[in-house]
Amino acid sequence: MPIVREKKDGNFTVMNNYHLRDQNLSLKAKGLLSMILSLPNDWEFSIAGLKAICKEGKDSISSALVELEIKGYLVRDRVRRKNGCLGGVVYTFYERSRRPQR
């Protein structure tokens, strides 16, 4: 099977193939994680932000994030404000699942 590859002289992403080879992860979740890993480190993560740069809607993005969380590629932490009220959510993404594979 021929694969035509481009010369990488800029605008490319280096990432581990681990999530791409994970047979327990849907193609949607693999694609979303790949998209997220391609974003700059200072990108302000939000579902609305992903919706703005993807074709998929909020529900599709949310379901892929749930799958990534269940499979160990995403950890969400709720932030508490100084007054004790719940604030935003901090999302931490991993190239390799944090859960042991069965």
Residue 32 lies in a domain: yes
Residue 72 lies in a domain: yes
Residue 65 lies in a domain: yes
Residue 37 lies in a domain: yes
The whole-model pTM stands at 0.86
Host domain of residue 57: 18-93
Residue 11 lies in a domain: no
Residue 23 lies in a domain: yes
DSSP string, 29-74: HHHHHHHHHHS-TT----HHHHHHHSSS-HHHHHHHHHHHHHTTSE
Question: Domain of 72: which CATH number?
Answer: 1.10.10.10
The string of pLDDT tens digits covering residues 1-60 is 898 888 888 888 889 999 999 999 999 999 999 999 999 989 988 999 999 999 999 999
Residue 39 lies in a domain: yes
The string of pLDDT tens digits covering residues 82-100 is 888 888 888 999 999 998 7
Residue 80 lies in a domain: yes
